[in-house]
Amino acid sequence: MTIDLHTHSAVSDGTDSPEELVRAAARAGLSVVALTDHDTGDGLAAASRTAEAVGIGLLPGVEVSTRFQGHSVHLLGYGVDFTEPRLAAELERIRSGRNDRLSPVLAKLAQLGVPVTEAQVRAQVGASPSVGRPHIADALVAAGHVADRREAFDRFLHDGGPAHVPRYAVDLPTGIALVRGAGGVSVLAHPWGRHTRTVLDPDTVTRLVAEQGLDGLEVDHQDHDAEARASLRALADRLGVLATGSSDYHGTGKVDHDLGCNTTTAEVHAEIVRRIAARRR
C-alpha cells in the first residue's frame, strides 16, 4: 500500500487535470491518493470517476487557507461535505479574497517594472475557480520577466515580498471547527514548513487538539527536514493524533514533490476513513 494524502490539480495551482493526476498516481504505483486542491472541491468528481476506472482509491479532500497570529497556515480537510452551508460560505469567501487580490498585485508588479495584464494571468488560471500566486508567477514566466515560479516567488511574490498582497483567510481554530462541522477530518498541512514553526509551537498544537479537535499533523513533507519530522512525529505520538505523509504534488509546478515521495501508513489512512464514516450524518 502506497498512500499519498496531499496533491493539487489544475483546479487549483497544480498543472495536471484531476483525471491526469489520478492516472499519474496509478502509474506511480499509489494505491490511494487524496486530491486536496486549495479552497475548492471542484476537481473531486472527475478524480473519483478516474480513480474507479484505473482501480485506485481516491480520498476526497481540500487544503483550506487559514491564518493564525498573522501567519498563513494551511489546513487539510478530508471527507468534508462541501454542501455544508458554513464551510461552503467560508470557502467561497476565501476564493473571492484570492480573486480580489489580483489587481493590487498587478499594480505592484507594474511599478516594479515587470508588468503583466489580468488577461495574461487569467490565461494561466485555466480550470481553477480562484487565482493563486503560482498562476501570477506563471504569467511572469510567460511574459519573460522571470525564468520559473521559484524566481517569481524569490524576487516578488513571497510573503512580505515587494508584490505580495495579503488576502482573506479563515482564522485557524474556526477552520478546524468548520472542517469538523462538515463531517471531515482535519490535519495541519506542513506545520513546520517555511515560516510556521514558531507560531505552531507544541503548546499551540496541544491546544488546537484539546479545544478544536484537530485530528492530525502532516509529518513527512518536503518542507520538513529530518529533525523537524522526528520532533513532529514525537509530538503527534505524545498527543495521540494522526501522523500523515504526502508529496504535496503540483505537477510540473513544484520540483522535488513527486507523487509518493512521502507516504501515509495504511493504518493511519484506515483511521481517517473510519472517522469520516463515523462523522457522516
Residues that bind ligand AMP (CB under 6 A): 38, 65, 98, 132-134, 153, 158
* Least Cβ distance, residue 38 to Zn ion (angstroms): 5
User: Which three cell numbers, joined as nine digits, stand for 280?
Assistant: 457522516
* Least Cβ distance, residue 38 to Fe ion (angstroms): 7
Taking CB under 5 A as the criterion, which residues in 171-200 touch Fe ion? 189
Nearer to ligand AMP by Cβ, of 98 and 145: the residue is 98
Determine contact, residues 41/158, Cβ cutoff 8 Å.
no
* Least Cβ distance, residue 45 to Fe ion (angstroms): 20
Nearer to Fe ion by Cβ, of 183 and 193: the residue is 193
Nearer to Zn ion by Cβ, of 132 and 245: the residue is 132
Nearer to ligand AMP by Cβ, of 158 and 279: the residue is 158
Number of residues that bind Fe ion (CB under 5 A): 4
H helices of 75-188, in order, are: 85-100, 102-111, 118-125, 133-142, 149-152, 172-181
The burial class, CB within 10 Å (0-12 / 13-18 / 19+), for 132 is buried
Only segment of 3-11, 50-58, 209-217, 233-241 that touches Zn ion (CB under 5 A): 3-11
* Least Cβ distance, residue 133 to Zn ion (angstroms): 9
* Least Cβ distance, residue 239 to ligand AMP (angstroms): 26
Contacts of 175 (CB under 8 A, 6+ apart): 64, 66, 75, 90, 186
User: Which three cell numbers, joined as nine digits, stand for 15?
Assistant: 498543472
* Least Cβ distance, residue 98 to ligand AMP (angstroms): 6
Contacts of 226 (CB under 8 A, 6+ apart): none
Q: Which long-range contacts (CB under 8 A, 24 or more apart) does 150-157 make?
A: 150/255, 156/108, 156/109, 156/112, 156/114, 157/105, 157/133
In which element (H, E) is residue 234 found? helix 226-239
User: Which three cell numbers, joined as nine digits, stand for 118?
Assistant: 489580468
Which of Zn ion, Fe ion, ligand AMP, none interacts with 153 (beta carbon under 5 to 8 A by kind)? Answer: ligand AMP
User: Which three cell numbers, joined as nine digits, stand for 37?
Assistant: 486542491
Only segment of 155-163, 172-180, 205-213, 243-251 that touches Fe ion (CB under 5 A): 243-251
What is the distance of C-alpha 206 from the center of its chain? 22
User: What mask, x for binding Fe ion by CB under 5 A, covers residues 56 to 95?
Assistant: -------x----------x---------------------
What is the distance of C-alpha 14 from the center of its chain? 10
Query: Could you say whether residue 37 binds Zn ion (CB under 5 A)?
Result: no
What is the distance of C-alpha 244 from the center of its chain? 14
Which of Zn ion, Fe ion, ligand AMP, none interacts with 133 (beta carbon under 5 to 8 A by kind)? Answer: ligand AMP
Nearer to ligand AMP by Cβ, of 23 and 158: the residue is 158
Site of interaction with Zn ion (CB under 5 A): 8, 13
Contact positions vs Fe ion (CB under 5 A): 63, 74, 189, 248
